[in-house]
């Protein structure tokens, strides 16, 4: 026997009551942009939702296309400007509308610096209730032609039977075909220009993963591959690199390795007569000019004396430790990864630096127990990753350091850690931005703390 519906077409609501309809991807919406967010996107408010619009500037009347939505947050991309900000400029790069690499080319460089300075000041004030006794001028180099390292996306399209080579699009896995990039240093621009042709000439392009380019004491091309490469393809790649004057490095399942084991790869710190060896996969600052300025300012602020013992935390390859050793009696440098500790120690030895010692330690934990901690320090330099150094700074006053320089790639965690330092009697004497990534909203900063 069949049952008749007795609810008269009643519609049941899902648990939790009414749900707000999501904004569909691709929808176009006219918006009034109020200001810029910390990541450089324009902020607009409409019908209870907050819109983040890449490519937009404060005060503009724009049309935006939705890239995605979650709850009351909408991510969008600028499509059209009805009323432009007086600050707006024509983006110098022809790929700007699609490439996800740079997001502030529509803003003049001087205004980019002012934005980053404001974002740093807001974080310090909002999170820590602090402002420095003095603001340092921004450390900045050329706004283009600065990047000495780049990662190039490579993907085989089996349906079209073609190899895609370029950079990732914004908020997408799409690869934008690019054979020129204005932010790269000139040697890498030359490599990139000819790279797609040689990769597409290979017999087994589906074996390719991605490519990394590096320029320092030599140029290098690292090819990551997901399957063995035929001998003919290796020969083509080797010939291409030899003609371009670049080293060829390969990486399959193991660590990166040079095809020519005799090749040396590194970067110079010329003011200190240093040359640091580097391998693909190691961290290195992408902006050589600003890196040099950053080290010079850190040393000037920390002012290590010939009788002092200095601690360098998150030391990496020795980027700060070796220049510090030129001025201090002793430098103790600490890093979380043992392989980096060994490479930094080798860099010290190869540069005839004998007053720097290198140790491995878990820097996500407080500094306790190690013998080198108990001896104390006159000054400390920290250069942590984006997560900051919250656990490390908790008891840093016990080291006895009167001066501390904190180099940060995340103003939010710098502000959080600055509050901890202030609670231990350290005053924020100076702060300023480091323009390591022009044309982007990425903010790096330096702060000097002094004990009461």
DSSP one-letter string for 308-338 = -EEEEES-TTTTTHHHHHTTSSEEEEEES-H
Q: Poorest-confidence range of 220-234, 243-257, 273-287, 361-375?
A: 361-375
- What's the CA dihedral at 126, 130, 131, 132 to 10 degrees? -140
**289 annotated to a ligand binding site:** no
Residue of higher predicted confidence among 413 and 7: 413
pLDDT in tens, 382-407: 999 999 999 999 989 999 999 999 99
Q: Which residue ranges form the domains of the chain, and what is each CATH number?
A: 27-88 (2.40.50.140), 113-142+287-451 (3.40.50.150), 149-258 (2.40.50.1070)
Tokens 């039977």 correspond to 161
435 carries a ligand binding annotation: no
Q: What is the dihedral of CA 214, 215, 216, 217, to 10 degrees?
A: 110
The model's pLDDT over 120-150, given as tens digits with 9 standing for 90+, comes to: 999 999 999 999 999 999 999 999 999 999 9
SS3 399: helix
The mean per-residue pLDDT over the stretch 367-375 comes to 82
Q: What is the pLDDT of residue 19?
A: 58
DSSP secondary structure string for all residues of 156-212:
EETTTTEEEEEEEBTTSS-EEE-S--TTB-HHHHHHHHHHHHHHHT-S-GGGEEEEE
Return the structure tokens found at 257. 């390795």
Q: Kindly tell me the sign of the dihedral angle through the C-alpha atoms of 345, 347, 350, 351.
A: negative
The Cα-based distances of 449 to 91, 182, 334, 378, 419 in angstroms read 38, 37, 20, 13, 11
pTM: 0.91
Residue 174 counted as an annotated binding residue: no
* 315 in a known ligand binding site: no
285 is in an annotated binding site: yes
Residue 31 buriedness (CB in 10 A; 0-12 / 13-18 / 19+): buried
Q: Which of 452, 445, 449 is nearest to 136 (CA)?
A: 445
pLDDT band at 366 (very low <50, low <70, confident <90, very high): confident
Helix (H) or strand (E) holding 343: helix 338-350
Q: Which residues are catalytic?
A: 409
52 assigned binding-site residue: no
Residue with tokens 């390292």: 149
Question: Average model confidence (pLDDT) for the chain?
Answer: 93
319 assigned binding-site residue:
yes
Confidence bin at 452 (pLDDT 50/70/90):
confident
pLDDT at 10 over 60: no
* Rounded CA Rg of the chain: 26
Give the pLDDT confidence of 408-443 residue by residue, as tens digits.
999 999 999 999 999 999 999 999 999 999 999 999
Residue 359 in marked binding region: no
How many angstroms separate the Cα of 246 from the Cα of each of 203, 216, 218, 242, 325?
A: 22, 11, 7, 6, 32
């Amino acid at each position: 026997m069949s049952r008749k519906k007795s609810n008269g077409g009643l519609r049941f609501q899902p648990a939790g009551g009414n749900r707000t309809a999501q904004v569909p991807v691709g929808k176009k919406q006219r918006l009034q942009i109020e200001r810029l967010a910390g990541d450089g996107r324009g902020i607009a408010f409409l019908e209870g939702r907050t819109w983040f619009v890449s490519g937009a500037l404060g005060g503009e009347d724009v049309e935006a296309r939705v890239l995605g939505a979650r709850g009351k947050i909408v991510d969008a991309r600028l499509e059209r400007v009805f009323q432009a900000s007086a600050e707006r400029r024509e983006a110098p790069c022809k790929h700007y509308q699609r490439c996800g690499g740079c997001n502030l080319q529509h803003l003049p460089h001087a205004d980019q610096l002012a934005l980053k300075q404001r974002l740093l000041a807001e974080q310090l004030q909002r999170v820590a209730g602090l402002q420095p006794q003095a603001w340092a001028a921004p450390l900045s180099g050329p706004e283009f032609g600065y990047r000495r390292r780049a990662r190039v996306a490579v993907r085989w399209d089996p349906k079209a039977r073609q190899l895609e080579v370029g950079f990732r699009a914004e908020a997408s896995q799409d690869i934008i075909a690019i054979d020129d990039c204005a932010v790269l240093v000139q040697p890498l621009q030359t490599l990139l220009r000819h790279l797609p042709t040689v990769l597409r000439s290979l017999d087994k392009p589906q074996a390719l993963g991605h490519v990394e380019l590096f320029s320092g004491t030599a140029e290098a091309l690292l090819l990551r591959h997901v399957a063995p490469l035929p001998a003919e393809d290796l020969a083509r790649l080797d010939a291409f690199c030899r003609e371009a004057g670049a080293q060829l490095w390969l990486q399959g399942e193991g660590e990166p390795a040079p095809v020519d084991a005799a090749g040396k790869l590194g970067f110079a710190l010329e003011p200190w007569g240093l040359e640091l060896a580097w391998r693909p996969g190691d961290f290195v600052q992408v902006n050589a000019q600003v890196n040099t300025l950053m080290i010079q300012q850190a040393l000037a602020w920390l002012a290590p004396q010939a009788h002092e013992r200095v601690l360098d935390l998150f030391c990496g390859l020795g980027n700060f430790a070796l220049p510090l050793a030129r001025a201090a009696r002793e430098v103790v440098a600490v890093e979380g990864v043992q392989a980096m500790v060994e490479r930094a120690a080798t860099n010290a030895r190869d540069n005839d630096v004998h007053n720097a010692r290198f140790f491995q330690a878990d820097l996500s934990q407080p500094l306790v127990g190690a013998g080198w901690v108990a001896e104390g320090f006159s000054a400390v330099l920290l250069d942590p990753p984006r997560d900051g150094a919250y656990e490390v700074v908790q008891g840093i006053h016990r080291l006895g350091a009167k001066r501390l320089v904190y180099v940060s790639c995340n103003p939010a965690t710098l502000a959080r850690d600055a509050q901890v330092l202030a609670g231990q009697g350290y005053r924020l004497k100076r702060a300023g931005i480091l323009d390591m990534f022009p044309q982007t909203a990425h903010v790096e900063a330096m702060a000097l703390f002094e004990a009461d």
